[in-house]
Structure 1
Amino acid sequence: MATGACLPDIPSDPAQDGQPMDRSEPSPALPPRPDRLPASPLPPIPHVDPSDAEGASTEYSHYRTQLSRHRTGLSEHRTDLSEFRTDLSSHRTGLSEHRTEMSMRRTGMSIQRTRLSADRTLMSVARTSLSLIGFGFTLYQVFGKLRDASVIHNAAEPRNFGLSLILLGSLLLVGGIVGHVRFALGLRHLRRTLMDEQLIHGESDYPVSIILITAILLLGIGVLAAVSILFDLSLFG
């Protein structure tokens, strides 16, 4: 009789538990809960006359019949509760499929966020390298113009310092490019593995990094700047 009172109330919206749902498909409907079994007392034990054996047997037979009916009602209610628990299990299975779908999409988006984070890291390296290369080339140009105007007589030290900054910026950029390429290849391999194992869908594009292309072009500019200083060439003029 108390079995129905032990089942907790299940919210009709699974999103109340803090779990996101895939709204592209309707969530499975919550199965109806069976009504509570009304409290019914046990049939009273009959009082019989010990001297009347036939009457006592009849009374006890009626009593056993009443007990059997009571047990049958309890059994039917337990059957209803069992079917309800089965329906709840099916309902939870449906919710688990929705959560699995959302987990797959979150994992795919995490890979994209990781790729964008790697691009931002390479962008930071490129900014630092650009500052070093630009400042070094500016030093070389400024002190070279001052020497040509006979304002100063020796521009070797500023030239060497500017060349050192350009080489340092180029080496820093080479390290950033190599690290980015290795990380990107590893991330692509991980994405392909997850797609083969059907852990993610892989529906979003995975384009070539524009930041990587820009960094390679910047590295070429830095190399040209270093060559122009070393061999006194006018590659940018």
Structure 2
Amino acid sequence: MTDKPQDSADTPKRPERIALPRIPEIPDVQGEKSDDASVHFSQYRSKLSRFRTGLSEHRTDLSEFRTDLSQHRTDLSDHRTEMSMRRTGMSFQRTRMSADRTLMSEMRTSLSLIGFGFTIYQTFNKLHQAGVILQSQAPRNFGLALIVLGVLLLVGGIARHLQYVSELRGLRQLMANEGLVHAETRFPISVTLIVAVLLVALGVAAFMGIVFDFSLLR
């Protein structure tokens, strides 16, 4: 297929218009002998024949010009098809990055829940140890609930992300096998997904630290 747009120099040039001669006038043979009249009419038919030949050549030039234009349009169509295939291939990458951004927004929400839950537990636990409040079970349970919600939200986001990217990768490969798109660039490893998994591990560690009173997380 054509890899670059057609240059203006490749555009077929329109043939110049032919300066058509005037149609010969019918000779006036009144009063002439039959032989002379026949000669005049023969000359007239010769002029008409040359006139028709000129028109035929002009129509041939126009036909060749239309053929060149048709080929030019075909080349442009092939080029547009090629560009469309590449744009479609790049749209898969944009969709994948959009999925990463969606996962990042879920990570922010999950991190907020885990951070609030752990902070609430730590704050009221320190107040309880200082004797400011008598019990800290309610804040502890509330903090644990926030951490659990944050972890569940992120686990669901990771599962949805993996399913969506897997379907996107399969659709891209299917269209590439059918020659509908270019699949020259590979899907890179998602750093966002790796960080999300680590954040889940951090949330689980925070939950276990509160439940089993790990001194490392206090």
Q: Give the structure-1-normalised TM-score.
A: 0.84
The match for 1:42 among 19, 23, 28 is: 23
Code of the residue aligned with 1:148 in structure 2: it is Q
Alignment of 1:26-175 (within 5 A): 27=7, 29-49=10-30, 52-175=33-156
Structure 1: distance between partners of 2:10 and 2:36: 56
Taking only aligned residues, the RMSD between alpha carbons, in angstroms, comes to 2.0
Q: Give the structure-2-normalised TM-score.
A: 0.91
State the partner residue of 1:200.
181
Code of the residue aligned with 2:24 in structure 1: it is P
State the partner residue of 1:182.
163
Structure 2: distance between partners of 1:126 and 1:87: 59
Q: Is the counterpart of residue 215 in structure 1 residue 186 in structure 2?
A: no
State the partner residue of 1:6.
none
CA contact 2:127–2:133 (8 Å) conserved in 1: yes
Code of the residue aligned with 2:170 in structure 1: it is H
What's the CA shift string for 1:139-189, capped at 9, x where partnerless?
111111111122211101111111111111111112211111111011101
5+ residue gaps, structure 2, are: none
Structure 1: distance between partners of 2:116 and 2:81: 53
Structure 1: distance between partners of 2:216 and 2:42: 116
Displacement of 1:214 in angstroms is 0.9
CA contact 1:125–1:173 (8 Å) conserved in 2: yes
CA contact 1:22–1:99 (8 Å) conserved in 2: no
Code of the residue aligned with 1:53 in structure 2: it is S
Displacement of 1:228 in angstroms is 2.3
The structure carrying a bigger helix percent of its residues is 2
Displacement of 1:235 in angstroms is 5.1
Displacement of 1:54 in angstroms is 3.1
Give the share of equivalent positions with the same residue, in percent: 59
Code of the residue aligned with 2:200 in structure 1: it is L
- Work out the number of aligned pairs and report it: 216
